[in-house]
Amino acid sequence: MSKALLEIQNLHVRVEEKEILHGVNLTVGHDETHVLMGPNGTGKSTLGYAVTGNPAYSVTSGSIVFDGEDITGLNVTERARKGVSYAFQQPVRFKGLTVRQLIETAAGGAIDECGLCDILSKVGLCAHEYCNREVDATLSGGEMKRIEIATVLARHTKLTVFDEPEAGIDLWSFSSLIQTFQDIRRELKGTMIIISHQERILRAADEVLLLDGGRVSESGTAEHM
């Protein structure tokens, strides 16, 4: 096992012929939670996409090393197979699919009652109440966010990038979501990068990274920022 889970060196990323990231350096350890902040349009999502392998965001120089392996040239599916996953800003809702089926799809197989209860309780939901609910518009934004996080837990990925998990939910729901992130950080084996504008998320962070003008302008522990 290498020391760092993710090591980004001098990363330059271009979108539609325009360079957005001008040399990002970043190291993230195993089982750590890092929060990425910075002004709008500075390239936070671009960095998330570049790590997870979105083809619209092309790396023109620099490298992304994941778990000791250079993944810069791998596509999104290959990276997902290695344990890199992206949590969508606006989760998809599937007509006719139940919460249970969605979580089983993420896990790649059937999960018994106990396992389902375990995963859903980690995100603050009662399995009895939710496992047979359809993943549709009757779920609130906050519930949907929790279910999305539950699919991440079920997937057992090594690295998950959350892009503005506060989007689409009210601030009260987000406060209790922060508690969920704190619980997951304590219990989960796995690393999270959370892109957020909400300073309160720093409570759940091991390290904070400020991105400005397409470069890392500051980084350190939450207490020192």
Structure-block tokens of residue 137: 């518009």
Provide the pairing of β-strand 69-70 with 215-220: unpaired
Binding mask 166-195 for Mg ion (x = CB under 5 A): ------------------------------
- By CB under 5 A, residue 45 contacts Mg ion: yes
3-state secondary structure 63-129: EEEECCEECCCCCHHHHHHHCEEEECCCCCCCCCCEHHHHHHHHHCCCCCHHHHHHHHHHCCCCHHH
Single-letter amino acid, residue 153: L
56 binds, among Mg ion, ligand ADP, none (CB under 5 to 8 A by kind): ligand ADP
- By CB under 5 A, residue 196 contacts Mg ion: no
Q: Which of 9, 15, 67, 141 binds ligand ADP (CB under 6 A)?
A: 15
Nearer to ligand ADP, 56 or 126 (CB): 56
Nearer to ligand ADP, 39 or 68 (CB): 39
For ligand ADP (CB under 6 A), the number of binding residues is: 12
43 binds, among ligand ADP, Mg ion, none (CB under 5 to 8 A by kind): ligand ADP
Rounded Cα distance between 69 and 164, Å, is: 28
Nearer to Mg ion, 131 or 193 (CB): 193
- By CB under 6 A, residue 151 contacts ligand ADP: no
Under 8 Å between Cβ of 187 and 159: no
Under 8 Å between Cβ of 195 and 4: no
DSSP conformation letters of 2-40: -SEEEEEEEEEEEETTEEEEEEEEEEEETT-EEEEE--T
Q: Which residue matches tokens 């079920």?
A: 154
Closest CB 114 distance from ligand ADP, rounded Å? 39
Closest CB 184 distance from ligand ADP, rounded Å? 23
Contacts of ligand ADP in 36-95 (CB under 6 A)? 38, 40-46, 56
Distance spanning both ends of the chain, measured CA to CA: 30
Q: Which residues bind Mg ion (CB under 5 A)?
A: 44-45
Q: Which residues bind ligand ADP (CB under 6 A)?
A: 15-16, 20, 38, 40-46, 56
